[in-house]
């Protein structure tokens, strides 16, 4: 549309439309050409059961008849969060490649270049299934992108790529960011207690030290497809001291099992904890949940430590399990 062209009897309106079209097509989340876009802008690490993936430059190897795989995972992610991707192979595979598909940039072919770099994860031994854990940067330029995965056999022969379309829910970040991701249509809740003793969760979303829960998913089994929660302290506000992270299985909403991953980013250093829930859930509130981690923050404004009251806790939040009601005449 933007090629030079001869326009007979061009009207001012036509010229204005063409100019607008050219400006629109030139808009891009990336300031430079696609050659400078790298996988680090979408995924900052890839690992499998503790085996860290190697960050490689250039394009990943092309499929050459190796193992065929299928992939599964939560198609919803948050910036600064994690995603666990299940990889199943028809035959054993010894390594997994992770890259960002060309469709992310609007290219026709998924595996065509466009975004440089990839991850290569070398498994300890050939296997037919693996869980790939990805981490995402606190700033992701696009809201939709394609994760591509391929597996290679022990001889290094690569199989066809499998795609996992991914949508980003933008959340807050800061000196501290704790995210929770899970893989089923159940209601899981993230709770974080700051050094001041205040507990942040769905029933009390902010604390006096600046902490905030800004994403709550599947509340009372109102399934929203997000399956992520996020609690942050802004830059310069997170107080020094001990933080406690808990995860509560509020309701299984009818599923048999829920796998979850918690990522803690404490000023750039952090940890990831994975686990699962089975059973019904406890419809828990203040003080509920499974302890998954504690961590220390060395710097930050001093907090006024407030002992947790045991006599009169704050009132429980209004979170009512949705039930089907039958209308009687
Ligand atoms: Ca929830």
pLDDT tens digits along 190-226:
999 999 999 999 999 999 999 999 999 999 999 999 9
Domain boundaries along the sequence of the chain:
30-169, 176-297
Contacts of 156 (CB under 8 A, 6+ apart): 94, 95
Report pTM: 0.83
Please give the distance, rounded to the nearest whole angstrom, from the Cα atom of residue 279 to the centre of ligand 1: 16
CATH number of 30-169: 2.60.40.10
Please give the distance, rounded to the nearest whole angstrom, from the Cα atom of residue 50 to the centre of ligand 1: 27
Please give the distance, rounded to the nearest whole angstrom, from the Cα atom of residue 81 to the centre of ligand 1: 16
Please give the distance, rounded to the nearest whole angstrom, from the Cα atom of residue 170 to the centre of ligand 1: 17
Please give the distance, rounded to the nearest whole angstrom, from the Cα atom of residue 215 to the centre of ligand 1: 9
Please give the distance, rounded to the nearest whole angstrom, from the Cα atom of residue 86 to the centre of ligand 1: 22
State the pLDDT at residue 300.
Answer: 85
Four-way CATH pick for 176-297: 3.30.460, 3.40.50, 2.60.40, 2.60.120: 2.60.120
Structure tokens at 116: 């440089």
Please give the distance, rounded to the nearest whole angstrom, from the Cα atom of residue 201 to the centre of ligand 1: 9
- Band of residue 90 on the pLDDT scale cut at 50, 70, 90: very high
Q: Residue 245 above 70 pLDDT? A: yes
Residue 104 sits at φ, ψ, to 5 deg, of -55, -35
1-8 long-range contacts (CB < 8 A, ≥24 apart) are: 1/25
Which stretch, 32-46, 92-106, 300-314, has highest mean pLDDT?
A: 92-106
Please give the distance, rounded to the nearest whole angstrom, from the Cα atom of residue 230 to the centre of ligand 1: 10
Please give the distance, rounded to the nearest whole angstrom, from the Cα atom of residue 174 to the centre of ligand 1: 21
How many CB atoms within 10 Å of residue 68? 16
Please give the distance, rounded to the nearest whole angstrom, from the Cα atom of residue 326 to the centre of ligand 1: 26
Domain 30-169 and domain 176-297 have a common topology: no
State the pLDDT at residue 56.
Answer: 95
How many CB atoms within 10 Å of residue 273? 15
Query: Tell me: the pLDDT tens digits for 247-294?
Result: 999 999 999 999 999 999 999 888 999 999 999 999 999 999 999 999
Distance of alpha carbon 101 from alpha carbon 104, whole angstroms: 6
Please give the distance, rounded to the nearest whole angstrom, from the Cα atom of residue 312 to the centre of ligand 1: 24
Query: Tell me: the pLDDT tens digits for 282-322?
Result: 999 999 999 999 999 998 887 655 545 444 444 445 687 75
State the pLDDT at residue 111.
Answer: 57
Please give the distance, rounded to the nearest whole angstrom, from the Cα atom of residue 69 to the centre of ligand 1: 31
Q: Are 143 and 79 in contact (CB under 8 A)?
A: no
Please give the distance, rounded to the nearest whole angstrom, from the Cα atom of residue 203 to the centre of ligand 1: 11
Please give the distance, rounded to the nearest whole angstrom, from the Cα atom of residue 220 to the centre of ligand 1: 7
Please give the distance, rounded to the nearest whole angstrom, from the Cα atom of residue 219 to the centre of ligand 1: 5
Please give the distance, rounded to the nearest whole angstrom, from the Cα atom of residue 188 to the centre of ligand 1: 4
DSSP string, 15-35: HHHHHHHHHHHH--S-SS-GG
Distance of alpha carbon 123 from alpha carbon 135, whole angstroms: 18
The stretch 11-36 carries a mean pLDDT of: 41
Please give the distance, rounded to the nearest whole angstrom, from the Cα atom of residue 227 to the centre of ligand 1: 8
State the pLDDT at residue 110.
Answer: 60
Give the DSSP H or E segment for 189: strand 187-193
Please give the distance, rounded to the nearest whole angstrom, from the Cα atom of residue 250 to the centre of ligand 1: 7
Please give the distance, rounded to the nearest whole angstrom, from the Cα atom of residue 83 to the centre of ligand 1: 17
Please give the distance, rounded to the nearest whole angstrom, from the Cα atom of residue 202 to the centre of ligand 1: 7
Complete edge-to-edge strand list for the sheet that includes strand 257-266 = 212-215, 228-233, 176-182, 257-266, 269-278
DSSP string, 226-281: --EEEEEE-TTTPPSEEEEEEEEEEE-TT-SEEEEEEEEEETTEEEEEEEEEESS-
């Amino acid at each position: 549309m933007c090629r030079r062209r001869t326009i007979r009897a061009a009207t001012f309106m036509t010229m204005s439309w063409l100019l607008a079209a050219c400006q629109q097509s030139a808009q891009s989340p990336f300031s430079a050409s696609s050659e400078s876009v790298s996988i680090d802008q979408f995924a900052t690490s890839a690992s499998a059961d503790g085996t860290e993936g190697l960050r490689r430059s250039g394009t990943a190897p092309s499929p050459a008849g190796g193992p065929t795989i299928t992939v599964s995972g939560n198609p919803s992610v948050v910036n600064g969060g994690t995603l666990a991707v299940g990889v199943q192979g028809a035959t054993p595979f010894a390594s997994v490649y992770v890259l960002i598909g060309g469709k992310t940039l609007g290219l026709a072919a998924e595996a065509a270049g466009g975004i440089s770099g990839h991850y290569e994860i070398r498994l300890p031994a050939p296997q037919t299934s693996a869980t790939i854990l990805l981490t995402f940067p606190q700033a992701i330029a696009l809201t939709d992108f394609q994760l591509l995965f391929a597996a290679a056999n022990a001889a290094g022969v690569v199989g066809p790529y499998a795609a996992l379309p991914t949508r980003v829910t933008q959340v807050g970040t800061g000196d501290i960011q704790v995210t929770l991701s899970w893989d089923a249509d159940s209601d899981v809740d993230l709770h974080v207690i700051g050094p001041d003793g205040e507990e942040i969760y769905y029933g009390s979303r902010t604390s006096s030290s600046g902490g905030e829960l800004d994403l709550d998913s599947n509340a009372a089994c109102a399934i929203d497809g997000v399956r992520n929660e996020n609690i942050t302290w802004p830059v310069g506000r997170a107080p020094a001291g001990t933080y406690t992270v808990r995860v509560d299985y509020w309701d299984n909403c009818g599923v048999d099992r829920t796998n979850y991953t918690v990522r803690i980013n404490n000023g750039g250093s952090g940890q990831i904890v994975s686990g699962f829930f089975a059973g019904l859930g406890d419809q828990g509130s203040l003080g509920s949940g499974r302890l998954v981690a504690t961590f220390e923050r060395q710097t930050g404004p001093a907090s006024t430590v407030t002992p947790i009251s045991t006599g009169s806790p704050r009132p429980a939040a209004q979170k009512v399990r949705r039930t089907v009601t039958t209308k009687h005449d």
